[in-house]
Amino acid sequence: MKLGVFVYRLYRVLTYGVSPLINLHIRWRRLRGLEPCRRWPERFGHPSAVRPPGSLVWFHAVSLGEGMAAIPVIRHCNERRPDLTILMTTTTVSAFEVIKDQLPVGVLHQFAPLDTPVAIDRFLGHWKPNAIIIMENELWPNLIMAASGLLIPLAMLNARMSTKSFKRWSSPLLLPLVSLLLSKFSLIAPLSTLQGIHFQLLHAPPFVINYSGDLKYVVNKFNASSGTSESIRDLKVELSEMKVWIASSLHRGEEEVILGVHNMLLESHPDSVVIIVPRHPHHGQQIAHKLRKDGQSVALRSQNEKLTSRKTNIYVVDTLGELRELYSVAPIAVIGGSFIPGLTGHNLSEAAAAGCAVITGCHVGHFSHMVKAMQQSNPLSVTQVSTKLELKEAVDLLLSNPEILETQQRASKEVYESLSSCIITNIWNLLNLHIFRGK
């Protein structure tokens, strides 16, 4: 532990010393539109809102996926403990743009402070949280040590660590530091038993590790009551006479795989349409531009373009926050982030919750536990492929056989319902026991 304290002090001195450079970097990112235009001072701990009186719980999520996983817990907390003020922080602008419309009334939002001593001390000094709940894997030393010094309970929900991060934290230099940081947590709820083992190997106290299920399964339960937008209903009408499949959460380069498969499928299914949903809207615009340059007809969602002719069989989505609704348009969902080596997969449960037949590639990283759990429940709930040809054959099989398609749709929906039950209740009980007791 002494070595861990020594390494932390080095980190603190380093982050203090490079703070002016970080300041310049944030200003540069702001000019590029990667930081909030007016609220960027929040990244340095400057508040843009007044702290209400009473107890306050701080939920922190980096990006959209973690933020959406936090919202069901925030809503449950809001219902069960209306006396608590809830503050949520996110790091990315894109996460805020979607999450701001999902947060319950009364929940405050700030952009997360950088992990520099001054920013963290300023943030904690203003907000004075009574508990801090971190989503997934944000092990920021200055934040964790400052909170511990102020006796603020810390929890990590849906805790996970990629193979790369695990190897890095396991190095002789960083293992003492991560052991010190993990010792400060009152609760670590890993998203799988394998992840729980990872945290134990990094010397997290065994008594704080409690498995409760993967919160990403319940994102869709939270959204289940949301209505379908008029534009999605119109899109369904447009596509009603066509064979539709969707390729979602695509990383750069994966569109080549999807478009190659689509072109092969058109030979046997000339009435098929593919909906392409990249992770970032700008990437969608680039895909559409390139396809049009090559002479292909494309409909772009942000421009409200219609599939006006049989020649238009590619629909590119360059908007944020609509994926859940778009899954209701297509009976077949191909989940991206899994077709190029080095990628780590994406959440399958959103498509399963919508009743899609789910297909994914083989590069699924920390989502491998989700693929395994679903396949163990019912092998028909997820189809995993390794090559472009296998993907083509998998989609072709479903487009050609309505009975098989219906069977796989039903399997994915039933498995989702099974795996998502009781997760929020389990999380709430753990938070009550380890974090909120006495608050």
Q: Which residues share a beta bridge with 74?
A: none
Phi, psi (deg, nearest 5) at residue 305:
-80, 140
- Reading the chain (439 residues) residue by residue, the pLDDT tens digits are 789 999 999 999 999 999 999 989 988 988 887 788 889 999 999 999 999 999 999 999 998 889 999 999 999 999 999 999 999 999 988 889 888 888 999 999 999 999 999 999 999 999 999 999 999 988 999 999 999 999 999 999 999 998 889 999 999 999 999 999 999 999 999 988 889 999 999 999 999 999 998 998 888 765 544 556 888 999 999 999 999 999 999 999 999 999 999 999 999 999 999 999 999 999 999 999 999 999 999 999 999 888 876 679 999 999 988 999 999 999 999 999 999 999 999 999 999 999 999 999 999 987 998 999 999 999 999 999 999 999 999 999 999 999 999 999 999 999 999 998 889 999 999 999 999 876 6
Residues 330 and 290 in one domain: yes
Does the pTM surpass 0.85? The reply is no
Residue 189 counted as domain residue: yes
Residues 6+ apart with CB under 8 A from 262: 272, 274, 313, 314
The Cα–Cα gap between 361 and 343 comes to 10
| Residue 411: per-residue pLDDT | 98
| Residue 310: per-residue pLDDT | 65
User: Which helix (H) or strand (E) is 92 found in, with range?
Assistant: none
Residue entry with tokens 């300023």: 122
Residue 144 counted as domain residue: yes
| Residue 204: per-residue pLDDT | 96
| Residue 182: per-residue pLDDT | 97
Contact predicate 357/271, CB 8 Å: no
The Cα–Cα gap between 299 and 312 comes to 7
Contact predicate 142/117, CB 8 Å: yes
Residues 10 and 52 in one domain: yes
Q: Which residues share a beta bridge with 88?
A: 59, 109
Residues 173 and 247 in one domain: no
Residues 236 and 206 in one domain: no
DSSP string, 156-180: EEEE---HHHHHHHTSTTTHHHHHH
The Cα–Cα gap between 264 and 276 comes to 16
The Cα–Cα gap between 180 and 320 comes to 38
The Cα–Cα gap between 142 and 19 comes to 13
CATH of the domain at 407: 3.40.50.2000
DSSP string, 47-88: -SSPPPSS-EEEEEESSHHHHHHHHHHHHHHHHH-TTSEEEE
Residue 219 counted as domain residue: no
Residues 370 and 264 in one domain: yes
The Cα–Cα gap between 34 and 94 comes to 9
Question: Is 66 among the catalytic positions?
Answer: yes
Residues 31 and 91 in one domain: yes
| Encoded amino acid at 331, one letter | P
Residue 268 counted as domain residue: yes
The angle that helices 368-377 and 402-420 make with each other, rounded to 10 degrees, is 110
| Encoded amino acid at 318, one letter | D
The Cα–Cα gap between 167 and 282 comes to 33
Residues 258 and 395 in one domain: yes
C-alpha closest to that of 140 among 122, 156, 158: 156
The Cα–Cα gap between 243 and 273 comes to 6
Residues 6+ apart with CB under 8 A from 409: 331, 355, 356, 357
The Cα–Cα gap between 122 and 146 comes to 11
DSSP string, 378-393: -GGGEEE--SHHHHHH
The Cα–Cα gap between 310 and 69 comes to 39
User: Which helix (H) or strand (E) is 133 found in, with range?
Assistant: strand 131-135
The Cα–Cα gap between 138 and 103 comes to 21
How many domains does the chain divide into? Answer: 2
Residues 66, 238, 255, 325: which is the catalytic one?
Answer: 66
Burial 385-422 (b: 16+ CB within 10 A, else e): beebebbbebbbebbeeeeebeebbebbbbbbeebbee
Residues 196 and 265 in one domain: no
The Cα–Cα gap between 168 and 207 comes to 24
CATH of the domain at 1: 3.40.50.11720
Residue 434 counted as domain residue: no
DSSP string, 105-122: TT-EEEEPPPSSHHHHHH
Residues 280 and 413 in one domain: yes
The Cα–Cα gap between 54 and 151 comes to 17
Residues 238 and 145 in one domain: no
Note down the domain range covering 81. 1-211
User: Which helix (H) or strand (E) is 244 found in, with range?
Assistant: strand 243-250
